[in-house]
Chains A and B, each alone.
Chain A
């Protein structure tokens, strides 16, 4: 057994660190460090910088623009990015739709879509969930009816994250209503500018329009936008979900947040002349979550090691989703506990770029209740944690 990095791996780590220091834009870092809301342009700009270096899509096959890294290198890269506060490329294109396109799309589709995903010329969003198809995704009802060389799409998709920015949406649509529910679903790419599409914002608990409902009213989609075969979409989507679960443990991000939290707690008064970090109850809670993240990190490393010898990430990756999201949510609770009543002001304007008024509360901690509220989504999205536990019971434990 050995979890040490080799000399080459250490060299690679240094290379990533140097790259981040030199290339991650200072203004974006300022925003990340201070909890200021990131705009579309921030993501696009950063991804173009990453792409210049060829580092947008470590998980893609090399022939389409992947890095050809070993699993350890991918781990190092994700860790250094997370610890530095650099955003991952927006997942909808790079991690969600692209693997389906290069795995099941035809040559023309690959040429048409993949380069623009790498270069972040096209912003993708996801059209999976529907108002009545959440955990039971396969019961989705949005229909696509073939008419000549078009599909006519009708229905409503929901929880479409950042759909307001999107140029294209990838959708699961029902092409056969007579088949068993998983068997009548197809994977369709739709240009958001097509007539008949309406995007309506959904405001979350922090009052931000982060997700949307997307309505399709007789939307005509060329048949060449179908990925793979008609009625095989569910199979493709399941593959996509395993890609979505890579990095879902969010270990680098949690480590960064814990480091900052420790620092904040040391500077926060306990009200009696000491610091909160020296409060044994708080210190214990902090230690518990640090240990949890450490165990999670090694659980993730073991999964990576298995993948590196050719095993597919199995249903065990559900562990990473459950524990990873619960750990980040618990860290959010601790931020709120450090902030105490300083977390309660709701002043979103002071977390936007260019705000120059008087600030309520204390720095980024002032947003900690809103962050806590917003991140309750983590145990719900991507297959709720209850669904992950169903997967473990059925696929791992054979119950």
Chain B
């Protein structure tokens, strides 16, 4: 048994850590969020240059290897800096779908463009009332001769406002909750009939609600087989759930560290508040949560890198997301409470970590959803 990183993984961690530490200060991040684009194109190019955008992809697709542990390494460090660049939306989710479903030509053109930093993507799958059920899709794609006509509305399209192309999950057959009949299409973000409402989310990331009104795409824009996209979508969303869980591990480590530091320096009643045993125990509990979260994320990442059955993999991710969800709620709330008033202000980074982990709780299956899923698998 060996939980240490390989040399490559260690180098990857060092390189992301160094970037976050030296080039992603809280004020820099704030400026990036307020910029028109909502992310730094300069940093995006740097990510490409340093090879980070290849991490989610297999060697045969020209990537770094595509292991879940590699992804975990990168995401944890991103979590420490609350990195806002759309790595998850473009590379992990959209890139993941292309890698799972795309034909040779689609992979060759789009994956290469993701990895060299020239293509921004967003995946439009969630709908207003679908909640976390990936099979619940009301949007339709009607086959007409050599084309498909897409109609419907999508919500929470992460990176939607910056995407050049959208990967749209639509129903080519069946009823709303059917597991079969889902297909994925590559749609130009500026295509006729696509309209979107862009917004900034509470954690500073950009997203959009996107409407498709008789959007015509050609049969070549179908990603994978018609009607058979659900398994791939589930695999990719689970990978995203694992990725944000790893990000949360990094963010929670920062919250714990900052809270402990604050407790050592903040004086009330003539002493540092960290000398109060009632507060010491609460920080010890935060530490326990951080350790359990880290442990279960490692478990799930390692499971994804085995040839276990897809049900076993799904169960591992459900366990990780549910357990990390519980940890995030507790560590987030306690960090704010132990800091007191200063942490409910916009000026301190603690509140922003709290907002990011809260957002993560609500993405890719919240805690209750993943608990129920774990129980059912």
Contacts and interface: CB of A to CB of B under 8 A. Distances in A.
Contacts, number: 130
A362 B202 CA distance: 15
A342 B341 contact: no
Interface stretch (B5-13, B143-151, B342-350): B342-350
Interface string B346-368: 11000100110011001100101
Interface string B252-294: 0000000000000001111001000011000000000000000
A347 B197 CA distance: 11
A372 B358 contact: yes
Nearest to A333: B329
Given A269-B129, A336-B358, A344-B203, 9 more contacts: A134-B268, A136-B270, A204-B346, A205-B351, A269-B131, A344-B362, A346-B201, A346-B202, A347-B199
29 contacts: A129-B341, A135-B273, A136-B268, A136-B269, A202-B345, A203-B346, A203-B347, A204-B344, A204-B346, A205-B346, A205-B351, A269-B131, A271-B131, A271-B132, A272-B136, A273-B176, A333-B329, A337-B368, A341-B155, A343-B202, A344-B201, A344-B202, A344-B359, A347-B200, A362-B128, A369-B359, A373-B351, A376-B343, A380-B340
A281 interface: yes
Contacts of B156: 341, 344
Contact of A341 (B197, B200, B343, B363): B363
Contact of A134 (B130, B131, B340, B368): B340
B371 interface: yes
8 closest Cβ contacts across the A-B interface?
Answer: A271-B131, A271-B133, A136-B268, A203-B346, A269-B129, A346-B202, A344-B201, A341-B156
B190 to A, nearest CB: 19
Interface in A304-362: 333, 336-337, 340-347, 358, 360, 362
A134 B343 CA distance: 13
A298 interface: no
Interface string A269-304: 111110000010110000000000000000000000
B70 to A, nearest CB: 27
Contacts of B273: 135
Prevailing SS type, chain B contact patch? mixed
Interface in A354-399: 358, 360, 362, 369-370, 372-374, 376-377, 379-381, 384-386, 389
A170 interface: no
Interface of A: 129, 132, 134-136, 139, 158-159, 202-205, 207, 269-273, 279, 281-282, 333, 336-337, 340-347, 358, 360, 362, 369-370, 372-374, 376-377, 379-381, 384-386, 389
Interface of B: 126, 128-133, 136, 155-156, 176-177, 197, 199-203, 207, 209, 267-270, 273, 278-279, 329, 333, 336-337, 340-341, 343-347, 351, 354-355, 358-359, 362-363, 366, 368-369, 371-372
